[in-house]
Amino acid sequence: MSIPTRVKLVEVGPRDGLQNEKQDVPAAVKIELVHRLQAAGLKEIEVTSFVSPKWVPQMADNAEVMAGINRLPGVRYSVLTPNLKGFEAALLTKPDEIVVFASASEAFSQKNINCSIAESIERFAPVVDAARAAGIYVRGAMSCSVGCPYEGEVAPARVGYLAGLMRSIGVQHVGVADTIGVGTPLKVQRAMEATLRHFDLDDVSGHFHDTYGQALANTLICLQMGVWQFDASVAGLGGCPYAKGATGNVASEDVVYLLHGMGIETGIDLDKLIDAGQFISDFLGRSTQSRAGKALFNKRPA
Ligand SMILES: CC(C)(COP(=O)([O-])OP(=O)([O-])OC[C@H]1O[C@@H](n2cnc3c(N)ncnc32)[C@H](O)[C@@H]1OP(=O)([O-])[O-])[C@@H](O)C(=O)NCCC(=O)NCCSC(=O)C[C@@](C)(O)CC(=O)[O-]
């Protein structure tokens, strides 16, 4: 398998990144972040989630954020929807894509969405039907595809099982998510291989948190398998409120630096992406988690 010449990054910072912030992030800041990300050339942005505000209060302004974005042609805006209630609210805001999210581990499924894996699939089936009937593309996120904060290691067979369930209800694309960032390349490769028994190479992506500093290595092994779609989060923002101790996603800036260094096209302007990361890091009052972002920013003339 040859390494792809072009990669699509899905920027998940506004959703995955900001869902875990302790401090209040006003809708206007989230909207400005989306504007800066699309100006940097991101073509797909996961904006928010239509989940219960009791579970994740940080995303309670979902409709306001979606309404406030000046949409650019050619950019796709996606949102998470855990059930029909969330989907119906999301539909009013005209997303291009929705994401249903399940877990390869039972314990995480219970903690994150308060139901078993089987129940989650039953819950998603009408959401997927309704989305596809409305012409909305459906992605599926498969959390804990390598390890679970409650159950430990997760076998590739369980990832394959979940991918098969996702496929059976009409999900069009799945992301192999290392929610707590414990994966190393061979483990990620096995989870990806199990997924590829149910989905084509063009319909899978990687979503790697960077808790143990393995996310770029995990990205590289997926590239070597021909995978060309990845989620990443500007400034390395993120973490899941139901995955204690897990750090943010791999920083978008670091992935872009890796890809451009390998001669792989992304369509992203790294300087502008660094500015977007700086903007949100300044707002949050801390320095960026992106190694490339920090290094390149510090090299700029004063
Ligand atoms: C799934 C539920 C709703 C079940 O939560 P539940 O408590 O079992 O749901 P329920 O149906 O019993 O409803 C309870 C209350 O929530 C309301 N409710 C119910 N649904 C909605 C909705 N969609 N929007 C707004 N409100 C909703 C519902 O109306 C009711 O309100 P009340 O009558 O008490 O006033 C809840 O567990 C939930 O919202 N969980 C979301 C957790 C979450 O967002 N986690 C982070 C995202 S996943 C992630 O980050 C991983 C990922 C994707 O990035 C990949 C990776 O790295 O792994």
CATH code, 295: 3.20.20.70
Q: Which residue has the tokens 């897990």?
A: 246
Report the pLDDT value the prediction gives residue 245, as an integer from 0 to 100.
Answer: 76
Q: Which amino acid, residue 259?
A: L
User: 54 alpha carbon to ligand 1 midpoint, in Å?
Assistant: 8
pLDDT value of position 239: 72
Contact 148, 108 (CB under 8 A): yes
* Blockwise average pLDDT, block size 10, the chain, 302 residues: 94 96 95 98 98 97 98 98 98 98 97 97 98 98 97 97 98 97 98 98 97 97 98 91 84 98 98 97 95 94 83
For residue 207, give the ligand 1 atom closest to its CA: 57
Residue 62 backbone dihedrals phi, psi, to 5 degrees: -50, -50
Instruction: Decide if 243 is inside a domain.
Output: yes
Looking at the domain assignment, is residue 2 inside a domain?
Answer: no
Please tell me the predicted confidence (pLDDT) of residue 301: 87
User: Rounded to an integer, what distance in angstroms lies between the CA atom of residue 167 and that of residue 20?
Assistant: 29
Counting other chains too, the contacts that 219-224 makes at CB distance below 8 Å and 24 or more residues apart are 219/250, 219/255, 219/258, 220/185, 220/258, 221/185, 221/186, 221/188, 221/189, 222/188, 222/189, 222/192, 223/3, 223/4, 223/7, 223/262, 223/264, 224/1, 224/3
What residues flank ligand 1, with Cβ below 6 Å?
A: 16, 19, 49-52, 54-56, 80, 82-83, 85-86, 101, 112-114, 141, 143, 177, 179, 207, 240, 242
Q: Residue 257 belongs to what domain range?
A: 8-299
List C-alpha distances in Å: 73 to 16, 41, 141, 268. Answer: 23, 12, 25, 16
Residue 59, in any domain of the structure = yes
Provide the β-strand partners of residue 290. Answer: none
pLDDT at 302: 79
In this structure, are residues 260 and 270 in contact, taking their beta carbons and an 8 Å threshold? yes
Task: Report if residue 274 sits inside a domain.
Answer: yes
Query: Which ligand 1 atom is at minimum distance from the Cα of 115?
Result: 8
Asked whether residue 173 is assigned to any structural domain, the reply reads: yes
Does residue 1 sit within a domain? no
Q: What is the rounded distance in angstroms from the CA atom of residue 38 to the CA atom of residue 72?
A: 8
pLDDT in tens, 217-228: 999 999 999 999
pLDDT digits (tens, 9 = 90+) for 27-76: 999 999 999 999 999 999 999 999 999 999 999 999 999 999 999 999 99
What is the number of the ligand 1 atom nearest to the C-alpha of 249?
A: 57
**Structure-block tokens of residue 302:** 């004063």
CA of 5 to the centre of ligand 1 (A): 38
Which residue has its alpha carbon closest to ligand 1 atom 36? 113
Query: What pLDDT is attached to residue 238?
Result: 85
Distance CA 69, CA 166 (A): 30
- What local confidence, expressed as pLDDT, does residue 265 receive? 98
* Nearest protein CA to atom 18 of ligand 1, as residue: 52
Number of domains observed in the structure of the chain = 1
Tokens of 293: 């972002």
Mean pLDDT, the chain, rounded, equals 96
Q: Are strands 147-148 and 137-143 parallel, antiparallel or unpaired?
A: unpaired
**Model ipTM value:** 0.98
How far is C-alpha 45 from the chain's CA centre? 9
> Residue 240 catalytic?
yes
- Which residue among 144, 148, 222, 240 is the active-site one? 240
The answer to whether residue 3 is domain-embedded is no
Sign of the Cα pseudo-torsion (45, 207, 227, 161, in order):
negative
- pLDDT computed for residue 271 by the predictor: 97
Quote the pLDDT of residue 105: 97
Q: For residue 102, tell me if it sits in a domain.
A: yes
Q: Which atom, in ligand 1's list, is nearest to the CA of 123?
A: 1
| Cα 281 from Cα 50, distance rounded (Å) | 24
Query: Which residues 6+ apart lie within 8 Å of 208 measured at CB?
Result: 177, 178, 181, 183, 188, 214, 215, 218, 219, 230, 231, 249, 250
Of 11, 18, 20, nearest to 44 (Cα)? Answer: 11
